[in-house]
Every structure is written in C-alpha cells, then in structure tokens.
Structure 1
C-alpha cells in the first residue's frame, strides 16, 4: 500500500490542484457500484488529509472536494437506478453480483431511508445502496434529504482524523510541519490501518460467502 500512497502524497504535495482533483475522484469512484468496492477511496482521502497541517492543502477545499465527489457519485448512481428501475439490477455487470445486490436490497428494505445514511459509512455496500435505492423507487427528494447530511458527516469523519493525527505529530513528536519523516510515519500508519481493515473485511466476506465476488457460471 505504501508503494502506491507514498508517491501519490509526495506528488500531490507539489501539485495542490491535483490533490483536490484526486480527492474528488476518490470520493466519486467510491460511489460507483463494483468499482467502489475495490478503489481505496477512503484510504486516499485519509492519506491526503495528512498534507493539511503542513499547508500543502487547505482543509476547506479538501472537505469541499470530498463532499462534491461523494454527492456527484451517489447522485449519479441513484439516478441511474431511478431511471432504469429494477431492470438495472438484472443487467451486466450488476447481474454478476447477485449476493451484494441481495444484501443491498435487504439492507434498504430493513432500514428504509436510513439505509442511505448508514450505507455511507459501511463499505462495500456504500457503492451499491444509492443505485439500489433508485431502482426500488425511493423518491429523489427523500434520497437527497438523507444522503447529503450523511455525506456532510462522512467527509469530516474521513478527513479530520488525518489532520488531527499529523497535527499531534508536529506538536508533540517534535517534527517540523514539512518534515518528510513525519509524512513517512503517517503514510506507514495509514497503510497499516488500511491493511488491517482490509484483512478483516476479507475474512468477513469469506465467512459470508463472498459478498462482492461475481456469481460463478455453472
């Protein structure tokens, strides 16, 4: 993971506008069904937030980029489902993932509108519930009334831990704000947490029958 995140963070620190674009795309792609299950969007957002305390990126623009990407991604998925209705759930490539579709439907049927809120914080169904909500006929105004507040909470929940961790490292660890050592330690920490979370999710998927694995052809 560090082989990918470390060069990304170093490059973005020298090209701020690409940092905001990367944050936007990470949040956007996380909301794309199937793609969002494999894109480490949350890890990218968390890692790039480490650049805020040093002044490479501005907090307000980091939050704005994450919110904008998530709103556009969730909204697009919802409208695709809303226009196609249940038919979209039976088309390729969604038809190859009956397990995750079934779980997304069950999650939505159980929690109703709150499923849209909760799903924003629960990978990998975060990438499927907006599409499922649209396909099952959730009114657009109700969707946005729940989805946008969820995103406004989700973005700080992903950005602020990184900002606070690096700020504490600068304040109490004795590292200057532009220290490459501080940045390196932070990247290793993000990679370690991401690896642990990924391992836990992999074990849960294996135990649950492969939630996001495509259906095997007989």
Structure 2
C-alpha cells in the first residue's frame, strides 16, 4: 500500500488538473467500508495537503472534492447496511474481520446519531459506523446531516494538517524550531488517538 500511495501522489504531481478527482476518490475509498481496510487514503490526503502548501493543488477544489467523496462513501455504506445488513457478517471482508462490524455497531448503539459525526475522525470506526447506522435503520435525514457536516470538517482538516507539515518542512526555521513544531503536532495527534480510544472503551 505504501507504493500505491507513492504512485498516487506522483500522479497528482504530474497531473495537477486531476488532483480534485483523485482526492475525491481517495476520500470516498477511505470512507467506504469495503475498501478502507486496504486503502491508504489518510496518508494520501495529508500528503495532498502538503501539495496545497507548495501551490500544486487548488485548496478550495481539493477541500470540496474531499468532502464530497467522504460524504458519498458514508452514504453508500449506509445504503448497503439498509439493503444487505443481514448478509454482511457472512460477506467478505467481514468473514475475516468480524470485529470491525461489531465495533461499529457497538459504537453506534451507544452514541446514536452523533456516532456518525464522531466516528468520521477515528480510523478504526470511520468506515463502519455508517454501515452500522444502515443496519440499525437510522433515519435518513439525521444520518445525512451528520454525514455531510462531518465530511465538510474532516476532509479540510486532513488537508490542513498536510499544509502545516509542508509549511514546517519548507520554512527557514532552525532544526530546533522544526522539531518543536513537529513535536506539538505529534502531541495533538496523540491526544486525538487517546480520546478516540477513551470514547470507544466507554462504548
């Protein structure tokens, strides 16, 4: 997958006019339950943010495409949950990863519709909470509201994190200043990971 991500980023560099389409597809795949197991979407989106900082990608088009792709990925997962929920435990890839579906269902049952928003920001849950929402027959309107709002926040946030990384890398700061900024970013990320685990354990 690392080589795949490298190839995707190289394609964006050589074909910047296709960047929005690639970013939209990446966000869709990262949010779609049947692909997210194997797709390095998170890394690609963060790296795309560094390309925004370098002036290779239009930031507005990238953010809109990422948000649209993410919302569509969740919507398709939700629809599959409604239509085929009873069949999913016996379907690939859940035959091999039954815990993924179970964790998504547990989280959704604990938190209800806010789980669709919250789950977007935590990798272990991102693609499976919408599927669980469909299986549990969550009403469409609150699902889509949480889905779209979270997508509009999530995609630009990933691109922005890459933008910050690109800014640090290209700055004229000393090594100590770069290390301090990188340490602060890592601390913030570690805090989010801790919070996600805390929330899930309470579920």
TM-score between the two structures when normalised by the length of structure 2: 0.77
Contact 1:5 1:47 in 2 (8 A): no
Alignment of 1:1-218 (within 5 A): 3-84=3-84, 86-93=85-92, 95-96=94-95, 97-173=97-173
Gaps of 5+ in 2: 175-181, 198-203
Cα root mean square deviation, aligned: 2.9
Instruction: State the distance in 1 between where 2:125 and 2:117 align.
Output: 12
Instruction: State the distance in 1 between where 2:62 and 2:129 align.
Output: 25
Gaps of 5+ in 1: 175-188, 205-218
Q: Which 4+ residue blocks in structure 1 deviate beyond 6 angstroms?
A: none
Larger Cα-atom Rg? 1
Change beyond 3 A, Cα 1:172–1:49: same
Moved more, 56-65 or 28-37: 28-37
Instruction: State the distance in 2 between where 1:95 and 1:36 align.
Output: 12
Instruction: State the distance in 2 between where 1:105 and 1:6 align.
Output: 33
Moved more, 9-18 or 34-43: 9-18
TM-score between the two structures when normalised by the length of structure 1: 0.72
